[in-house]
């Protein structure tokens, strides 16, 4: 009997009691390779001594000081590091406790920016179908996952949703990836024209879509065109890198690979690597200046923003990644894992697509490879794959995908950056068997 309202009420969950490196252990002594890091959270794996040391030290010295009264050393140092490594134009950081909070804050920053600039009529948000930006009301309103939104629709602020960049399903045979990217980006131009540019505040998108689609990267040129369109119309570009950011794709920020810098960027998961709940918004100099020369404040704030222990943990995580050259490992191990998965599952009659970047890979499960028809959602294949994998000691994330508005089955593989060759073999092998068993 549990008194916790768990995500799923029926069934029992194993009790996690320990984590070391790429493995988690439950109370019954079972070991699991953590090949999804929760949902792309545990970038350093579990029990990293440097992070644990930093946590102890900070908790010992100062656990909490309200940000209305004080700043703190770990928060200042982390902000310096994040800005030093940020995309061009980013000058400041706003700390929060997770991804949804980061999206809420970014949307409010966008709104306040235009109010400060004397353009209060700019309030429309454009986002994409098949996106996930979090579960709080503002973030859920921005997200385009029909299933997650459905029953809360009456509480959600109006958001305009346009087509996602989803080459596997929507690229025509007669167009290149680049041509497809330009065609989808034109949807943003059309929507801005339809609404009237003077009413549009921001466009928000994940450079590599995670939770709703299983690691779907933008095709080359798409984000560049999106950036141009936003610039032409004075619309802010918010890139949500909560899942795909902080090194997961092989560069610190996924958008670097697209040659694009946002006005606002949200980060979380890999920032603290699961050692503490922490997220952040990175904002441009222009937005900071509008606040600084205007009202002199950002009208927002939560009790735990800039929490010293959370910042100390994130600082330690990011220092280890830098010191140990782990982004290089993400790139080489990502390539190897992709080849192993392609070898083991490429010919599988129900694996329609294998995609992603770095150690952020997704598989799309289909009933028919030729027509790309998904399985009947009632079969809940993504959940069956997760269970079959768990029974074999492997954790992969069943991305709750939507395919053109309907539920599809996707599997997300996102192991820690410290993963080694023998782990990759075990991941590919166990996942292959789990898919064979479940499908």
- Binding residues for ligand PLP (CB under 6 A): 39, 98-100, 103, 132-134, 206, 210-211, 240, 242-243, 268
Residue nearest to ligand PLP (CB): 99
**Rounded distance between C-alpha atoms, residue 291 and residue 112, angstroms:** 8
Least Cβ distance, residue 385 to ligand PLP (angstroms): 19
Closer residue to ligand PLP, CB minimum distance, 38 or 53: 38
- Residue 139 C-beta: closest distance to ligand PLP, Å: 6
CB of 316 to ligand PLP, least distance (A): 19
39 versus 105: smaller Cβ distance to ligand PLP? 39
How far apart (Å, rounded) are the C-alpha atoms in residues 122 and 114?
7
User: Of the two residues 200 and 211, which places its CB atom closer to ligand PLP in the complex?
Assistant: 211
- Give least dist CB 307 to ligand PLP, A: 15
> In DSSP terms, which residues pair with 46 in a beta bridge?
21
**Residues 6+ positions from 44 with CB-CB distance below 8 Å:** 51, 273, 275, 317, 320, 321, 326, 416, 417, 418
Residue 237 in contact with residue 263, Cβ under 8 Å?
Answer: yes
305 Cβ neighbours under 8 A, 6+ residues apart:
67, 94, 95, 96, 97
Q: CB of 210: closest distance to ligand PLP in angstroms?
A: 5
Closer CB to ligand PLP, residue 99 or residue 138? 99
Inter-helix orientation angle 285-293/99-116, to 10°:
60
Gyration radius of the chain's alpha carbons: 21
Query: Between residues 204 and 438, which has the closer beta carbon with respect to ligand PLP?
Result: 204
Nearer to ligand PLP, 374 or 400 (CB): 400
Least distance (Å) between residue 308 CB and ligand PLP: 20
Task: Choose among 181, 184, 222, 169: nearest CA to 355.
Answer: 169
Q: Which is nearer to ligand PLP, 86 or 428 (CB)?
A: 86
Report the distance separating Cα 422 and Cα 15, nearest Å: 26
Contact 163, 133 (CB under 8 A): no
From residue 113, how far is each of 95, 283, 331, 423 by CA, in Å?
18, 11, 37, 47
By beta-carbon proximity to ligand PLP, the closer residue of 100 and 350 is: 100
Closest distance to ligand PLP from the beta carbon of 160 (Å): 18
Distance CA 50, CA 366 (A): 43
In terms of Cβ atoms closer than 10 Å to its own Cβ (0-12, 13-18, 19+), residue 301 is middle
Q: Between residues 132 and 417, which has the closer beta carbon with respect to ligand PLP?
A: 132
The count of other CB atoms within 10 Å of the CB of residue 115 is 17
Strand order across the beta sheet in which 200-205 lies: 90-96, 279-284, 264-267, 236-240, 200-205, 124-128, 160-162
């Amino acid at each position: 009997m549990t008194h916790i309202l768990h995500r799923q009420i029926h069934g029992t969950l194993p009790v996690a009691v320990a984590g070391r490196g790429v493995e988690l252990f439950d109370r019954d002594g079972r070991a699991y390779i953590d090949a999804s890091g929760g949902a792309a959270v545990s970038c350093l794996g579990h029990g990293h001594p440097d992070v644990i040391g930093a946590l102890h030290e900070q908790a010992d010295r100062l656990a909490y000081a309200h940000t209305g009264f004080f700043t703190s050393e770990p928060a200042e140092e982390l902000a310096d590091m994040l800005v030093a490594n940020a995309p061009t134009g980013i000058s400041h950081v706003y700390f929060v406790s997770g991804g949804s909070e980061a999206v809420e804050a970014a949307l409010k920053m966008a709104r306040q920016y235009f109010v400060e600039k004397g353009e209060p009529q700019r309030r429309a948000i454009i986002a994409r179908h098949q996106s996930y930006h979090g579960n709080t009301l503002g973030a859920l309103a921005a997200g385009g996952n029909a299933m997650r939104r459905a029953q809360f629709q009456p509480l959600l602020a109006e958001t305009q949703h346009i087509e996602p960049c989803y080459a596997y399903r929507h690229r025509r045979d007669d167009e290149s990836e680049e041509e497809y990217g330009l065609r989808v980006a034109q949807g943003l131009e059309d929507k801005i024209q339809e609404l009237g540019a003077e009413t549009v505040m921001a466009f928000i998108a994940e450079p590599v879509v995670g939770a709703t689609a299983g690691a779907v990267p933008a095709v080359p040129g798409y984000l560049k065109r999106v950036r141009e369109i936003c610039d032409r119309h004075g619309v802010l570009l918010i890139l949500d890198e909560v899942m795909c950011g902080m090194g997961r794709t092989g560069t610190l920020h996924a958008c670097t690979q697209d040659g694009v810098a946002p006005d606002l960027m949200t980060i979380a998961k890999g920032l603290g690597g699961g050692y503490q709940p922490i997220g952040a918004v990175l904002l441009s100099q222009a937005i900071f200046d509008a606040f600084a020369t205007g009202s002199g404040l950002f009208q927002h704030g939560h009790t735990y923003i800039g929490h010293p222990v959370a910042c100390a943990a994130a600082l330690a995580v990011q220092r280890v990644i830098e010191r140990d050259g782990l982004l290089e490992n993400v790139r080489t191990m990502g390539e190897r894992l992709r080849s192993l998965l392609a070898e083991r599952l490429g010919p599988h009659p129900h694996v329609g697509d294998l995609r992603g970047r770095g150690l952020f890979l997704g598989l799309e499960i289909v009933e028919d490879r030729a027509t790309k028809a998904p399985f009947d959602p009632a079969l809940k294949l993504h959940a069956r794959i997760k269970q079959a994998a768990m029974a074999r000691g492997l954790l992969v994330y069943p991305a709750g995908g939507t395919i053109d508005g309907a539920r599809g089955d996707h599997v997300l593989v996102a192991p820690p950056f410290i993963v080694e060759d023998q782990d990759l073999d075990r991941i590919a092998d166990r996942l292959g068997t789990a898919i064979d068993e479940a499908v």
